[in-house]
Amino acid sequence: MVIAVVLSMILGLSMQASMASAGESAEAVQIDREVDASLKKFLEDTPEAEIFRKDAKGILVFPNIVKGGFILGAHYGKGALRKNGEKAGYYSTMAASYGLQAGVQAFGYVLFFMNDKALTYLDESEGWEIGVGPSIVVMDKGMGKNLTTTTGRSDVYAFIFDQQGLMAGLGLQGSKITRIHP
């Protein structure tokens, strides 16, 4: 069952480029709706993230990423970039992994781009692999309470939210983020 989910996710990625243009605008509307709702809920549930929101040059939100695996695993999701509260592009995130793993999980994450250099890297790269390029710090809820704009000096801050399901080894390292045109 899990293998079928993972294979269908991988096959879906290859079919993405061949989607008919008639469904693209509806897809963009759906992504925007999910991004706006997820970001609002995230900021309500994580008040310490406000320091990042107010100083960020851009906020990239992936509201629903599905991860599944049994020995081989993959995750995939779509999201949108916001600059000054306005939409500035659509992106996908995907990763593949192998090892001792089993399960299915859904989660979301928010990336706060804190400087123009990091945002330019995202805009100009052919796909950004997390762990290569701008420095990134993955935050948990408690870490944000001790940071200020002077102590927080990384290029990008990531928060993972709304984890559901059972799967060990949640992380962002090795995820590839690519611009899409829904």
Structural domain boundaries, residue 173: 2-180
- How many angstroms separate the CA atoms of 96 and 10, rounded? 9
Note whether 65 and 110 are within 8 A (CB): no
Q: Which residue has the tokens 């990134």?
A: 136
Alpha carbon separation from 167 to 68, 70, 131 (Å, rounded): 8, 10, 22
Across all residues in the chain, what is the average pLDDT? 77
pTM: 0.76
The pLDDT assigned to 11 comes to 42
What mean pLDDT is predicted for residues 154-166?
A: 84
Q: Of 6-10, 52-56, 144-148, where does the model show the most confidence?
A: 52-56
The pLDDT assigned to 132 comes to 54
The pLDDT assigned to 95 comes to 87
Provide CB contacts within 8 A for 164, sequence distance 6+.
Answer: 105, 106, 107
The domain total for the chain is: 1
Note whether 149 and 61 are within 8 A (CB): no
Confidence of residue 130 (pLDDT cuts 50, 70, 90): low
Which three-class secondary structure state does DSSP give residue 44? helix
SS3 percent helix, strand, coil of the chain, rounded to 5, is 35, 40, 25
The pLDDT assigned to 15 comes to 42
Instruction: Summarize pLDDT for 39-84 with one digit per residue, the tens.
Output: 999 999 999 888 899 999 999 999 999 988 888 888 899 999 999 8
> In this prediction, what percent of the chain has a pLDDT beyond 90?
36
> In this prediction, what percent of the chain has a pLDDT beyond 70?
69
Tell me the pairing of strands 156-166 and 58-83: unpaired
Tell me the pairing of strands 86-113 and 58-83: antiparallel
Q: Which residue has the tokens 């330019």?
A: 120
